[in-house]
Amino acid sequence: MRRRILAAVLLTTTLAVVAFFVPAALAIRNSQRRGDLLELQREASIVANRVATLQVDDGAELQAILDAHHPLGIYSIDGRLLVGNGPPIPDRIVELALNGNFAEGYVDGDLVAAVPVSATAAHPPLVVRVEEPGGESRTRFLRSLALLAVAGCAIIAVAAGVGVWVSARLNRPIEGLTAWAASRPPSDVPPPDETGIEEIDSLRTALVDDRVRIDELLARERSFSSQVSHQLRTPVAAMRVAVEAEIEAPRADPSVVLQESLGQLDRLESTIASLLALARQTNRELVERDVLALVGEHSGHWRRVVARAGRQLVVDGEPARARVDVDAVGHVLDVLLDNAIRHGQGEVRVTVGRSASGATVDISDEGSAPTDRDPFAETGSDSSHGIGLRLARSLAESAKATLELLPTPTTTFRLKLPA
């Protein structure tokens, strides 16, 4: 990028300098030629005025008042060269002056000016011819072109310096963003500071936001992966232990071990369904539902499970509408009800209520709340909790809801759903 910016600046500046150089050179050439003609006319006029007071043959004195490089010639009215240097046969410039006209122009590349002189008591009518060699004019023009070229080169050099500065100014933050984006997440290296360049700062904001989302996804994936094996092995291990124990010491009623295995298979099926729901969770559209009706429908099959455990499931509360992901809410309820049945005591109660931000669903039992650990912690949680309360919270958050443990004497989890 830096080379492209510098090349673009240099190319643009060079084209601009060339575009101005040509007309500037022509203007200098025309200006110098006009100045040379005026200078020769002035010199010729000075000689003409002096001729009026000098003898015609006093050419040395006349030449002394002129530039040594400007040859002087004085012609008679009949075209003869009387004094000085000049063509023996009058050229076209002299011929114009012989006709009484001021004349100037180029003859064989040399600049020539001729001025007619009126007759006086000292001499008849004359023509004064002054010549400037073409080499002198070309030298001055080339010197001017050299100065113009030096100025053009200076402009290109300044443009190159500006191009280097601009390219560095633009490239440095992009290189910093590239290096930061290429670092392995999660990274403790902070993103580069804002530059004040709107486009680059917009790119920085987009990269930082994407990096945050990627870090969150990676953290969620690590949390998911770290617990999946435990969640799946627990019911499998329980079935294996039950079967191996039955083989070693068969019981009179073989259906007992089958019932135990069937319960573990139900648990395994629920765990797999919850894990798949979390793994496949995307930003699905939320729908507005009556939370009390939704909870009542989903809790129907859990009544039989609770009854088999010799306990009671109660669903009460008031109608409350909220925007929910039905599948996600169902899996979270499964986790919380399974947790209450396996680790709680007494009656299991599901209470639906209204809140300023939407609706709440409280799942409680009569067992004491855990105080020695965080049930949502990444490590240290009981793997027998099926999908795990940590993953249940992740699933709730993916559905724009929140899950928390209330600070009550008995175990009460609260699921908050948005209005």
Q: Kindly indicate the confidence band of residue 413, based on its pLDDT and cuts at 50, 70 and 90.
A: very high
What percentage of the chain's residues is helix, strand, coil (to nearest 5)?
A: 55, 20, 25
Domains and CATH numbers, the chain: 2-149 (3.30.450.20), 220-418 (3.30.565.10)
CA distance 309 to 234: 20
Q: Residue 125 carries which side chain, given as an amino acid letter?
A: P
Backbone angles phi, psi at 344, to 5 degrees: -100, -170
Q: Degrees (nearest 5) of the Cα angle 19, 21, 23?
A: 80
CA distance 174 to 183: 14
In this predicted model, what pLDDT tens digit does every residue of 371-381 receive, in sequence order?
A: 767 777 655 44
Coil, helix or strand at residue 362: strand
Ramachandran category for residue 386: left, alpha or beta (phi over 0 → left; psi -120 to 50 → alpha): left
Tell me what pLDDT residue 383 has: 41
CA nearest 69: which of 134, 157, 155, 156?
Answer: 134
In this predicted model, what pLDDT tens digit does every residue of 204-245 receive, in sequence order?
A: 788 888 877 777 777 766 666 665 665 666 667 777 777 888
In this predicted model, what pLDDT tens digit does every residue of 55-109 receive, in sequence order?
A: 655 556 665 665 567 788 888 888 888 777 788 888 888 888 888 888 888 888 8
Q: Residue 288 carries which side chain, given as an amino acid letter?
A: E
Q: Quick one: average pLDDT of 5-9?
A: 80
* Segment among 2-11, 149-158, 350-359 with least mean pLDDT: 2-11
CA nearest 9: which of 182, 176, 159?
Answer: 159
CA 68 to mean position of chain CA atoms: 68
- pTM (2 d.p.): 0.44
Backbone angles phi, psi at 409, to 5 degrees: -60, -40
C-beta pairs of 183-189 under 8 Å, 24+ apart in sequence = 185/211, 185/214, 185/215, 185/218, 186/215, 186/218, 186/219
- Residue by residue, DSSP assigns 272-309 as HHHHHHHHT---PPPEEEEHHHHHHHHTHHHHHHHHHT
